[in-house]
Amino acid sequence: MICRVCGAELAEGTLFCPMCGSSVTSSRLRPPEVADPRPSDTSIISPSLAERPPAPAVAGRFPDDVLLDEDGLPPTQAMTIVPVEQAPPAHPPVQHRYTLSFSTGDVVEVSGSGLVGRRPITQPGEHVDQLVVVSDPTRSVSKTHLEFGLEGDELWICDRYSGNGTIAHPLGGVPRQCEAGRRYRVTRGTRVEIGDQWFDVS
């Protein structure tokens, strides 16, 4: 018995062809037919090299000793992968603001420019962000003793012609008498003396 679809030889009493799955009940009455050239749902089609899409264009050239794959690209292991730890940060780290810790127990966070004294006041046309009042019963601190401000990420102070002056003690450094009207950069850990009072920069 012959399958009418694919022409395969079948055993007597077979209802379906084991090769193509077609019904063979009437194959005794019909001559073998040509197999259906159309692919079935499970057919795997291998396109010829001529039918493949062209390889993508690659900028630059690769060394002669690099073996390219069938698409003309270098193998995956030839790629350079930058670890996450070495990648540059998306945003620069945020610098913490400066804090002034006074001998009176008051703590002030610097948020711009400011004046420090027993009763600090601005000059006509002058603008500052903060007025810091220091409690000093002995009046060793002037009414407007000093000025401070930020320049980039650095803090500076300036004596405002106070009566008892301003002295900066850098951490591990030599104390410096601040000249009135002149700005001095101060680093974290510096203690600034204003009369009988003081504040630490952190």
What pLDDT, in 10s, does the model give residues 146-179?
Answer: 999 999 899 999 999 999 999 999 988 899 999 9
- DSSP, collapsed to helix, strand or coil, labels residue 61 as coil
Exposed / middle / buried, residue 7 (Cβ in 10 Å: 0-12, 13-18, 19+): middle
Average pLDDT of every residue of the chain: 78
| Cβ neighbours of residue 62 closer than 8 Å, sequence gap 6 or more | 68, 74
Exposed / middle / buried, residue 131 (Cβ in 10 Å: 0-12, 13-18, 19+): middle
For residues 103 and 132, the answer to whether their CB atoms sit within 8 Å is: no
Q: Which residue has the higher pLDDT, 63 or 194?
A: 194
Tell which residue, 122, 129, 112, has the closest CA to residue 160.
122
Q: What is the pTM of this model?
A: 0.53
* pLDDT band of 8, cuts 50, 70, 90: confident
